[in-house]
Chain A
């Protein structure tokens, strides 16, 4: 797995090309590969989330908190609570399934990235450097969870970051902070005493699409197998309008 940010400058030839490019471009341009140490994360941690489906009330407070915290553009979502009406034996009920990037241990979005813009920090969080991303959307295609999208403000790939800026400041992700039912539990899998490590160890949680072999680090308690993969049901009644997003702006 590509835990190091990217393999830029692996060879002397690449280094030479890179140096030549740096010399030729404006001072404020961003060089792919010019990483700060802070962005690599602390390998002592492995951040993960456990979602207790039984505690989710479908209020979408997490959806809104995420949008406000991360300035997610209109009609785009880094997380959402998929909501279903389930009828069994003539009785109808609701089923809520919070969805977000799974920060997989073996993320399929990373190897396909042609520029190294998307990478996994050493603490397991998968992020996108939107100053490097070319917006090719290959990662959007490769994600089995539809967790990625093109942000029409930045014209680059976008996704949940576990609110990495908050985590580094010792805070919880916005969606966890705001969850009224306590359905989202966030913590360090490397800490055996953490809530997530305990739940993963003792409650045998499930993950979405395990057959994809991505080893998600978002776990679900009480996950109905009918919702583990592509849901076999009648399509959504409400859709965000697709016409109002910002026009594509070529850089």
Chain B
């Protein structure tokens, strides 16, 4: 006989962590990933990693500066942010985050300055009205590998703490089975690395001279990260599907009944497997495509976890509806954050244009008239 329950009246709880939070986790993840990718070339002075490291540093700096703005905007009372700093709340991962974020961003800025100091010094030597400013910014010095390494290791410590807290902050929420898995921090980190490699590929193509060596290396790195994403995702699914672990079975069970979630899962697999296959099969000439898909995948993962996760009722039947508002609580927040990131990128590449690569054949290289660099500045 027919046995069923229809929910007639219940409360619909709206999404409380807004798309701002998605933007924050996306950007800070890219920043951490970018920093990690920049370390071999700068902090460990591996010259063949230097060009990739420079693009990765752009990723780390632009995303790292935009991310805290998105986080602040996700607070419903952003003017009270100082309340974090007048209490001791070690039981709250969010409180730890309020300590780690300034630590990381400060370390990142010092590291970025140390890395770019050589370029600042070079610009300071050019006959330009801004040369004095460049000399001032370089503090009268040039490349200092010991300083770069020290600052890089400090920033690395900050980045690892940020990666730890962003993962743990969400994973400890027992009330949401989808979030409450030990795999989540690992998935955040791996998708962040894939997204960062993706953004390196995109920036390399559109804003950093389209260096083929960078593209090849970044595509290979991307393939590795995406392989890791698929491996961890597969483990997560297997643990849930075969009931090997109660936490994962509960996480999977909370969304498995939804057609929309099944479509999302297929989409996520495609967005991971496709760039993986392209990057493995043809790492040259495909960077823009694989990079954009990887970026999309990293963002989508966070959107699904945060916005999708909050549409799973804790007590009620079925799922809550979510429609993206057009205003600051939705689309405007996403576009605004992206705009801020773009602005920071434009400022950074205007101040520090990509160094010119040596021409393959000097005899055929166009002769730049004297003062061109100065005029460009």
Contacts and interface: CB of A to CB of B under 8 A. Distances in A.
A134 B75 contact: yes
A111 B74 CA distance: 20
B317 to A, nearest CB: 4
A90 B5 CA distance: 12
B129 interface: no
Given A108-B175, A144-B174, A232 B317 contact: yes
Contacts of A33: 86-87
Contact of A82 (B7, B97, B319): B7
Contacts of A7: 87-89
Interface residues of A, number: 78
B17 A251 contact: no
Given A115-B87, A230-B316, A251-B79, A80 B92 contact: no
Given A136-B94, A248-B76, A251-B79, A146 B13 contact: yes
Interface stretch (A120-128, A188-196, A234-242): A234-242
A235 B316 contact: yes
A180 interface: no
From B77, B169, B316, residue with most partner A Cβ within 10 Å = B77
Interface in A1-26: 2, 6-8, 10-11, 14, 17-18, 21
Contacts of B173: 112, 141-142
Contact of B315 (A89, A156, A229): A229
Nearest to B90: A7
B4 interface: yes
B8 A156 contact: no
B242 interface: no
A208 B175 contact: no
A150 B85 CA distance: 22
B261 to A, nearest CB: 14
Interface string A65-84: 00000000000010011111
B321 interface: yes
A145 B315 CA distance: 6
B7 A236 contact: yes
A82 B4 contact: no
Interface string A199-213: 000000000110010
Interface residues of B, number: 60
A90 B4 CA distance: 9
Given A87-B4, A237-B7, A250-B78, A112 B315 contact: no
Contact of B75 (A89, A136, A230): A136
Contacts of B315: 82, 99, 145-146, 208-209, 229-231
A2 B91 CA distance: 10
B282 interface: no
Contacts of B74: 136
Contacts of A248: 76, 328-329
Q: Count chain B CB atoms within 10 A of each CB in A21, A135, A146 and give the residue with the most.
A: A146
Contacts of B254: 230
A170 interface: no
Nearest to A140: B16
A146 B10 CA distance: 11
B313 A112 contact: no
A141 B176 contact: yes
A155 interface: yes
Contacts of B94: 112, 114, 136, 138
A10 to B, nearest CB: 5
A21 B82 contact: yes
Contact of A236 (B16, B81, B316): B316
Contact of A114 (B17, B77, B95, B321): B95
A168 B319 CA distance: 39
Contacts of A232: 5, 317
B234 interface: no
Contacts of A208: 315
Contact of A112 (B11, B82, B91, B323): B91
Contact of A226 (B5, B314, B329): B5
Contacts of A11: 88
B107 to A, nearest CB: 22
Contacts of B175: 108, 141-144, 212
B1 A89 contact: yes
Contact of B313 (A6, A133, A146): A146
B83 A80 contact: no
A67 to B, nearest CB: 12
Interface in A168-224: 208-209, 212
A87 B1 CA distance: 10
B6 A237 contact: yes
11 contacts: A11-B88, A33-B87, A82-B7, A99-B11, A133-B80, A149-B14, A226-B5, A234-B4, A248-B76, A250-B79, A251-B78
